[in-house]
């Protein structure tokens, strides 16, 4: 199959890009796809911590780009999941150490070996963002149901459209159903009204995510967690399977409407 380079971005910091990248990546490898996760947040790397691989880093992305080592030497094979690799960012440099052209060359090299290349984009719209989107075929935009996050996501979508990355899908993270019902949190329809791109999935807020990131075990491995199951469903939708929405809520009326949004998204 043709390799796909997917960038996970958001604009706003702290909405769940790194957690999403780790979980989708782990889930893809569990399904048998050769997956590599690339951390482009140079200077503030987190993807290695969230995966529990920080002790195994010898070489990083900047070393590869500066030709201090071969790509294979920098890739870290996750021993728990067959087919999952990590290319960590550098911690002692900053975003100016890499250029978009270098990223394009890197993703082209990675395409030879992997089915899915997930790029964890840093927050912001400057050099880090430009580097991350350079080689991407499609984008996943992560947002939380907050006005400031949606505003930033809108900006990012505009920038992605201008860079001709037209395949864009939205992930709404950390939603709290009871707050939405009370009217204290933004409604999914309101978010879709402003952002107007296809919805890939909705992840509920879950305390277990904090525990999983601290332990370095992505939550998709937790059978009981609702967030984990949402990530698993989301990944299946990503690779093209038609997955019904899990009921995050007992009130069917709300979800009847939500289901329609998903039918539109998954029928493409």
Partner 1 sequence: MLSDFVKIRGSKDGLVIIANDVKDIDSLRKKIINRIEHSLTFFKGADLIVKMRNTDIDEEKINELKNYIIDNYGVTIRLEKFQERRLKNVKDKNDIFEGLEEGMTKFYNGTVRSGQALKYYGNLVVLGDVNPGGIVQASGNIVVMGNLRGIAHAGITGNSKAIITASKINAMQLRISKLISRSPDNNIENEVVYPEIALIKRNKIIVKPLYTYGKI
CB of 150 to partner 1, least distance (A): 9
CB 113 within 8 A of CB 75: no
Pick the closer one to partner 1 by CB: 183 or 253: 183
* Least distance (Å) between residue 11 CB and partner 1: 9
Pairing state of beta strands 4-9 and 76-77? Answer: unpaired
Taking the least distance from each CB to partner 1, the nearer of 151 and 215 is 151
Could you tell me which residues come within 8 angstroms of residue 44 by beta carbon, excluding any fewer than 6 positions away? Answer: 89, 91, 122
Nearest distance in Å: CB 168, partner 1: 12
Local structure of 88: helix, strand or coil = coil
* Cβ closest to partner 1, residue 69 vs residue 196: 196
Shortest gap between Cβ of 143 and partner 1 (angstroms)?
12
- Nearer to partner 1 by Cβ, of 75 and 157: the residue is 157
Computed from CA positions of residues 181, 253, 190, 145, in that sequence, does the dihedral angle turn out positive or negative? positive
Q: Which tokens belong to 40?
A: 């482009």
Q: Cβ of residue 18: shortest distance to partner 1, in angstroms? A: 23
Q: Specify the residue, 70 or 155, whose C-beta has the smaller distance to partner 1.
A: 155
d(CA 180, CA 177): 5
Nearer to partner 1, 72 or 151 (CB): 151
Positions touching partner 1 (CB under 8 A) are 151-152, 154-155, 157-159, 161, 193-194, 196
Rounded distance, CA 81 to CA 64, Å?
24
Residue 11 structure tokens: 């604009």
> SS3 of 175, please?
strand
* CB-based burial label for 42 (10 Å; 0-12, 13-18, 19+): buried
Min dist. Cβ of residue 160 to partner 1 (A): 10
Give the number of other CB atoms < 10 A from CB of residue 245. Answer: 17
Using a 10 angstrom Cβ sphere, with 0-12 exposed, 13-18 middle and 19 or more buried, the burial of residue 208 is middle
- For residue 113, the minimal CB distance to partner 1 (Å) is 36
Distance of CA 220 to the CA centre of its chain: 13
Nearer to partner 1 (CB atom), residue 30 or residue 197:
197
């Amino acid at each position: 199959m043709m390799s796909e380079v997917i960038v996970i971005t958001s604009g706003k910091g702290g909405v769940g890009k790194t957690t999403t990248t780790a979980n989708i990546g782990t889930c893809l490898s569990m399904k048998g796809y050769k997956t590599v996760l690339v951390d482009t947040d140079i200077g503030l790397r987190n993807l290695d911590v969230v995966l529990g691989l920080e002790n195994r880093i010898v070489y990083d992305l900047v070393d590869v780009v500066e030709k201090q080592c071969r790509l294979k030497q920098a890739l870290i094979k996750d021993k728990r999941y067959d087919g999952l690799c990590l290319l960590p960012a550098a911690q002692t440099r900053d975003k100016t150490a890499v250029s978009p052209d270098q990223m394009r060359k890197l993703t082209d090299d990675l395409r030879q070996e992997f089915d899915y290349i997930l790029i964890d984009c840093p927050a912001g719209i400057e050099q880090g963002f430009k580097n991350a989107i350079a080689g991407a075929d499609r984008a996943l935009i992560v947002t939380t149901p907050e006005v400031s996050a949606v505003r930033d996501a809108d900006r990012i979508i505009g920038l992605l459209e201008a860079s001709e990355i037209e395949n864009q899908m939205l992930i709404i993270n950390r939603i709290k159903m009871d707050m939405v019902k009370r009217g204290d949190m933004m409604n999914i329809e309101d978010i879709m009204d402003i952002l107007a791109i296809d919805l890939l999935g909705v992840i509920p807020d879950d305390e277990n995510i904090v525990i999983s990131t601290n332990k370095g075990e992505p939550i998709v491995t937790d059978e009981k967690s609702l967030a984990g199951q949402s990530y698993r469903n989301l990944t299946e939708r990503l690779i093209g399977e038609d997955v019904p929405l899990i009921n995050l809520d007992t009130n069917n009326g709300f979800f009847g409407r939500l289901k329609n949004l998903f039918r539109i998204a998954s029928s493409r």
